[in-house]
Every structure is written in structure tokens, then in C-alpha cells.
Amino acid sequence: MDLIEIAAPDFNVDITLAYATSENFTDAPIYQNAICYLHMEAAKALKRAIETAAHLGYRIRIYDAFRPSEAQWVLWNHTPDPDFLADPRRGSPHSRGVAIDLTLLTSDGEILDMGTGFDAFTPKSHHGNKNISKIAQQNRLILLGIMTQAGWDFYRNEWWHYQLFDSRRYPLVSDTEIPKQMMPPA
């Protein structure tokens, strides 16, 4: 198994998995257990991003990382929008453990203004959108710089989503294959 748990003390991040709560676009929890996993290659890239963010005076908040294939189906069945969700028949980089949804926090724990919230499925969420405040544009560029220097690729439609390059080379992983299951029993 190439997935590892992202947790303190090895990773100095704020983990707030949106899909383990009703604070997501479905208005319902998807995960029964809020466990943050990433493929070991993605975890190495995350450590580099954490170090750079800290050097600049920021912390990272993770909204989602590894997402079991079963969860991808739940999200797709709720909102089958290929501009914002990967069709589970093709597989999501999240379901391979090589994608992460995140934002930046100040050293005081305040969320930086990114122009939209996480999972806002609108054109305002696109990288480079100029219909948001200049501060939000600058914050997105700071996040983009931190993540790309650490080895992550970005998804043009979602300011919060980053994935490893060539993500399809990693296998899809289901909930039954991970050490502690995330999904509720079927």
C-alpha cells in the first residue's frame, strides 16, 4: 500500500476534511471517518509545500486528499459536472491518492481570502479569474507558487485543487484497500 496517513507530528497542517462534515456542496457527510491519506510521493510534495508556506508565514489547511473511489461515485451521483468533478469511470486523481484540496491560513489561523469558498462550482473559482478582489487574486498566486515549486500541478477550474503530474499512472484505490476505512458500511 503506497498511501500514508497525513497527521501530526509528521505534517504540520490543519486538517479539516470537508467531506467528513456537512460543510460541502452535497450538504451531507460523505466520509464516516475523517482520515487524511496521500500517496507517499504526494506526501513528499506536501512536506515541501508545508516548509515553503511556513517560511512565508502561512499554514496549509487540507479540505480533501485521498478520496476512495466509492466517495467519488457519491459526489458524481449528486452533481455530475465534469468541469468540477472527475467522472468516476475514468477515476479521479483524488482516488489515486495524488490530489489535494487546500487553502492557506495566516499564522493566526485566519483563512486567506481566495475569492470563493472551497467547492464553489462557478467560473469565479477558475485560476486567473479577474472578477474577484485583487487581494484574492494575490492569495491564489501565493498558493499557486507554493504548490508548483513543491512539485504539484494545478487544475485550471479550481483554485484549491492540486495534483501530481501524470496522475493517471497511479492506481485507483477503493475504501476496502486502505488501513482504516473512511466510508460508512454499505
Residue positions annotated with a catalytic role: 158
Is the backbone peptide bond immediately before 9 cis, with ω within 30 degrees of 0? Answer: yes
CA distance 114 to 170: 30
CA distance 156 to 32: 30
Other beta carbons within 10 Å of 124: 15
Backbone CA torsion sign across 80, 14, 12, 135: positive
Q: Is 62 helix (H, G, I), strand (E, B) or coil?
A: strand
